[in-house]
């Protein structure tokens, strides 16, 4: 299988590493060959540990740097899913996907050690899919587009249509045609309620048998998931791609999100450091919502998993000021303590 090599600075957004295969870690002119992302982690953190000052910081971070689920660094392997020994009494957790592992290494470990990683680059081997066939699709050429960090390829379907599909969708089998397969299956359902899906694959699910159940007039099928669990899904949800697993896909996605977060003393550092406005916010002010029944604004603040009311206000500006004052007093003092005890690289 042909491929080509590209070089990325270690400071690149970590989502660029998803679905990629590392070839080497580059320290200036020095090239260290690697085959996996865990080897990338081992090589880089090994260099970091060789620096006396950085080693001292790594030892300090043991049992302190952690996500919501697991510790990133520890003095012993107990409780780690895939421990890697960095040094005596120093272990790192490497049971993560490429993007998450690199995010933890760069942003949660190296950035707190004072280790200068600005000159480190990664050589990545990208697979050339040109000419390969996936289902009814034959890959014609690579485009300059990306979807969820995955290269988008131009493909020709057996029916004659041209479509664009991401490499990830091709590899895992999520997309096998320009859409004509789905149209045919839906057409069959429209003509016959008894279309047989037995043995067909939909994402991680393999259809085992038809059940006697019906949901909104659709047949409910018993399926086996790749994770080993059994799951039931309707014909429509399977064919339209709305159900691709027993739920493990979403659980894995949620787990990756949690692993990217740093919790200290029941507080998510990223959340209180940023002032992002969530999509369901209707006032444009974080921590303030409007009460229609009283025509007033309520301000509140979350801290250490508890919600504190900041009062009711006639004017939005007054509620906003109450929230900002609370942030300065509550978050400000905590973040000051956090940065003093977890010094980050400026």
Q: Is the pLDDT of residue 1 over 50?
A: no
Q: How far is CA 202 from CA 36, 85, 177, in A?
A: 29, 40, 13
Domain boundaries along the sequence of the chain: 3-126, 129-178, 194-246, 263-341
pLDDT at 133: 92
Q: Calculate helix-pair angle for 52-61, 37-50, nearest 10 degrees.
A: 120
**Structure tokens, 235:** 């014909």
Average of per-residue pLDDT across 191-217:
83
Beta bridge partners of 134: 137
pLDDT at 227: 83
pLDDT digits (tens, 9 = 90+) for 315-331: 999 989 888 888 887 77
pLDDT at 284: 85
pLDDT at 57: 92
CA distance 40 to 51: 18
pLDDT at 310: 81
CA distance 216 to 161: 33
Average of per-residue pLDDT across 175-183:
85
User: Which residue has better confidence, 231 or 196?
Assistant: 231
**Structure tokens, 313:** 């206000």
pLDDT at 122: 93
Q: Is the pLDDT of residue 8 over 90?
A: no
User: Which residue has better confidence, 113 or 126?
Assistant: 113
Q: Which CATH architecture has domain 263-341?
A: 2-Layer Sandwich (3.30)
pLDDT at 217: 78
pLDDT digits (tens, 9 = 90+) for 142-158: 888 877 657 889 999 99
pLDDT digits (tens, 9 = 90+) for 57-76: 999 999 987 876 778 999 99
pLDDT at 39: 94
């Amino acid at each position: 299988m042909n491929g080509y090599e590209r070089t990325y600075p270690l400071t690149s957004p970590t989502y660029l590493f998803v679905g990629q295969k590392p070839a080497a870690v580059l320290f200036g002119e020095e090239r260290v060959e690697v085959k996996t992302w865990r080897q990338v982690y081992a090589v880089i953190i090994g260099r970091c540990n060789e620096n006396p000052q950085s080693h001292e910081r790594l030892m300090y971070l043991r049992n302190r740097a952690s996500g919501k689920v697991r510790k990133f660094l520890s003095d012993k392997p107990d409780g780690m899913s895939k421990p890697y020994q960095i040094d005596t009494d120093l272990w790192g957790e490497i049971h993560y996907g490429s993007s998450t592992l690199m995010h933890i290494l760069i942003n949660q470990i190296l950035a707190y050690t004072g280790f200068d990683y600005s000159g480190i680059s990664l050589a990545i081997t990208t697979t050339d899919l040109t000419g390969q066939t996936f289902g009814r699709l034959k890959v014609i050429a690579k485009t300059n587009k990306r979807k969820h960090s995955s290269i988008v390829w131009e493909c020709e379907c057996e029916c004659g249509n041209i479509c664009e599909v991401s490499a990830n969708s091709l590899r895992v089998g999520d997309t096998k045609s320009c859409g004509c397969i789905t149209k045919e299956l839906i057409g069959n359902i429209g003509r016959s309620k008894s279309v047989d899906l037995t043995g067909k694959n939909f994402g991680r699910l393999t259809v085992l048998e038809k059940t006697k159940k019906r949901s909104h007039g659709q047949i409910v099928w018993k399926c086996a998931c790749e994770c080993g669990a059994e799951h039931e899904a309707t014909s429509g949800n399977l064919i339209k791609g709305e159900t691709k697993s027993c739920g493990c896909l979403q659980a894995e996605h949620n787990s990756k999100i949690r692993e990217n977060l740093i919790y200290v003393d029941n507080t998510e550092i990223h959340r209180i450091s940023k002032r992002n406005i969530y999509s369901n916010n209707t006032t444009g002010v974080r921590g303030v919502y409007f009460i229609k029944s009283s025509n007033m604004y309520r301000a509140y603040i979350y801290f250490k998993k508890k919600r504190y009311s900041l009062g009711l206000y006639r004017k939005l500006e007054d509620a906003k000021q109450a929230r900002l004052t609370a942030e300065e007093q509550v978050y400000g003092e905590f973040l000051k303590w956090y940065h003093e005890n977890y010094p980050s690289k400026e």
